[in-house]
Chain A
Amino acid sequence: SQTIHQWPATLVQPVGSPLSLECTVEGTSNPNLYWYRQAAGRGLQLLFYSVGIGQISSEVPQNLSASRPQDRQFILSSKKLLLSDSGFYLCAWSGGGGVSNEQFFGPGTRLTVL
């Protein structure tokens, strides 16, 4: 069966510090991968998605970036965090090759920027 992992589970970082969140998927090949953010009082917002290694699409302009160095690894980064980057970050995957495939979510990373 497929599983999705995210780490760290929680993170407290000062403003201006760098960020690296990691997501890995097991039990599937060539997945589509997604990064979402859930901010307090707001719905989930798609940040990035990837259909293959090195292929990243950005949905929202911001100071965050994403990379996919391996087929089942997706990384969310920032060079300098802002207070507004605080939130709950969720990674998700779906089967590659199909538009209407079900998305499955990881356990999330709670980021607090102070």
Chain B
Amino acid sequence: KQEVTQIPAALSVPEGENLVLNCSFTDSAIYNLQWFRQDPGKGLTSLLLIQSSQREQTSGRLNASLDKSSGRSTLYIAASQPGDSATYLCAVLSGYSTLTFGKGTMLLVSP
């Protein structure tokens, strides 16, 4: 059974810092990995999708890497802003249509 772990559970940083969120998964037989953002009481916004054959994806200040063999992914956020404050979720697609989520990292960026 696939299990996804995200570390840290919560992170508080001052504005402008670069930061790294970590995600690990137990079964390396995945189709893809997605990073999502969730604001309080809201749905999920897809940030980046990395296919199993890819090593990384970039979107603006966000960069996600994938090391499938070791079961790890990182989300790098450059020059953090208060608007980046949210919960970040990592999810892996390992069965047909079966997306397994971590419990998320709650990020607070203070001005």
Interface residue ranges, A against B (CB under 8 Å): 6, 32, 34, 42-44, 46, 49, 51, 57, 59, 90, 92, 94, 99-100, 102-108, 110
Contact = CB atoms under 8 A, between A and B. Distances in A.
B55 to A, nearest CB: 16
5 contacts: A43-B4, A99-B97, A103-B34, A107-B42, A110-B41
Contact of A105 (B41, B43, B97, B104): B43
A102 B49 contact: yes
A103 B96 CA distance: 13
Interface residues of B, number: 25
Contacts of B104: 43
Looking at chain B's contact residues, is the secondary structure mostly helix, strand, loop, or mixed? strand
A67 B52 CA distance: 31
